[in-house]
């Protein structure tokens, strides 16, 4: 039956993160950037993770992708990609999976592209690293294809990154992610460094490109309005922990945790959001974070903070 197979397809878990903790261990102090995070990402699903800078969401992305730099270190938990335990893979097996299976769209791609290499060489490097042997013309056709997929012109290929605008560079990174048709895309604040108009364009481009290859996506961001547009489910991160998670619609209608509510409430007013951000960044957590998440409705989880659940 069509519905059955549709449901079965939907329930396939692409990415399962369990009890993941990442610490920055420095001489002066240890910072718990990510602290016992669990979530699942299903096939063809877009999961958003929202929180302010400093909430640990970028660290989480790098941790899942095994791209952490010292002093950052995964201290506990597991990351499963399909049946594979990503944290247990050796370098070469990991390299095989990268990009072919999961791609990454970095935060503020201003500096993500090699400044001294033409774009076509960077595209070519990505293909040849995964053993794609094909004639030059075929390769070029492939690059043109992915560039057009994000609304860019082929004549960008012989250019250097600094010759492109921020929005163009961000779209180049989206095109790069499409190159090998991955099952999973992890996008870390793909629009953070852009002006308001480019933000919308880039996000729509990203959503369309993802849909075209039926990939799942973990989309990290701080702009609730943008996240609301493209995500199926949404997790709210605060001080390295998830405080609430649920269907995007449910969350916007019926957020329970006070932090989630403040994030959502901040959407229309840029000024208020700024103030809020600075307050949250330099103070101790305002809410207890130690109790386990509770399911308050089907698929809607909230971390108890000592107040009532009612809206």
User: Which residues of this protein are in contact with other proteins, per CB under 8 A?
Assistant: 26, 28-29, 31, 62, 65, 67, 69, 91, 95-100, 103-104, 106, 108-117, 125-126, 129-130, 160, 162, 173, 176
- DSSP-assigned letter for residue 80: E
In terms of CB distance, is 7 or 111 closer to other proteins? 111
DSSP H helical ranges for 99-189: 119-128, 136-149, 166-178
CB of 271 to other proteins, least distance (A): 24
> Closest by alpha carbon to 50, among 219, 217, 166, 212?
219
Query: Which position has the token pair 């190159």?
Result: 179
CB nearer to other proteins: pick between 36 and 108: 108
In the bound state with other proteins, the residue whose beta carbon lies nearer, of 126 and 260, is 126
Beta carbon nearer to other proteins, 100 or 140: 100
DSSP strand pairing (216-221 vs 184-188): parallel
From residue 73, alpha-carbon distances to 31, 34, 35, 80, 96 in Å are 11, 10, 12, 17, 22
To other proteins, the closest distance from the beta carbon of 67 in angstroms equals: 5
**Pair 284, 274: CB distance under 8 Å:** no
Q: Looking at the DSSP assignment, which residues form a beta bridge with residue 32?
A: 23
| Alpha carbon distance 76, 57 (integer Å) | 16
CB of 268 to other proteins, least distance (A): 32
Nearer to other proteins by C-beta: 258 or 285?
285
CB of 160 or CB of 252, closer to other proteins: 160
Q: Are 40 and 15 in contact (CB under 8 A)?
A: yes
* DSSP H or E stretch at residue 246: strand 241-247
Closest to 223 in 3D by CA, of 255, 257, 200: 200
Instruction: Write down the least CB distance from residue 172 to other proteins, Å.
Output: 11
- Give the nearest distance from C-beta 102 to other proteins in angstroms: 9
Closest approach, Cβ 63 to other proteins, in A, equals: 13
Residue number, 50 or 103, with CB nearest to other proteins = 103
Shortest Cβ 188–other proteins spacing (Å): 10
Q: Is 94 exposed, middle or buried (0-12, 13-18, 19+ CB in 10 A)?
A: middle
């Amino acid at each position: 039956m069509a519905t059955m197979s549709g449901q079965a397809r939907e329930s396939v878990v692409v990415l399962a993160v369990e009890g993941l903790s990442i610490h920055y261990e420095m001489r002066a102090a240890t910072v718990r950037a990510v602290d016992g995070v669990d979530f699942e990402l299903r096939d063809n699903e877009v999961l958003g993770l929202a929180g302010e800078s400093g909430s640990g969401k970028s660290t989480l992305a790098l941790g899942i992708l095994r791209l952490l730099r010292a002093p950052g270190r995964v201290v506990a938990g597991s990351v499963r990609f399909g049946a594979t335990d990503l944290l247990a893979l050796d370098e070469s097996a990991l390299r095989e999976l990268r990009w072919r299976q999961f791609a990454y769209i970095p935060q503020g791609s201003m500096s993500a592209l090699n400044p001294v290499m033409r774009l076509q060489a960077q595209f070519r490097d990505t293909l040849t690293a995964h053993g794609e042997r094909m004639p030059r013309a075929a390769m070029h056709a492939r690059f043109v294809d992915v560039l057009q997929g994000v609304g860019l012109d082929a004549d960008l290929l012989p250019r250097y990154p600094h010759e492109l605008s921020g929005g163009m560079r961000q779209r180049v990174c989206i095109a790069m992610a499409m190159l090998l048709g991955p099952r999973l895309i992890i996008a870390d604040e793909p629009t953070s460094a852009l002006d308001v108009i480019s933000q919308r364009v880039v996000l729509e481009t990203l959503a369309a490109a993802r849909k075209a290859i039926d990939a799942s996506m973990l989309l990290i961001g701080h702009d609730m309005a943008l996240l609301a547009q493209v995500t199926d489910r949404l997790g709210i991160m605060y001080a390295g922990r998830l405080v609430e998670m649920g269907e995007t619609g449910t969350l916007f209608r019926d957020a329970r945790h006070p932090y989630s509510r403040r994030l959502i409430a901040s959407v229309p007013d840029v000024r208020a959001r700024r103030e809020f951000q600075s307050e949250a960044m330099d103070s101790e957590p305002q809410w207890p974070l130690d109790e386990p998440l509770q399911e308050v409705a089907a698929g809607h989880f909230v971390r108890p903070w000592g107040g009532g659940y009612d809206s």
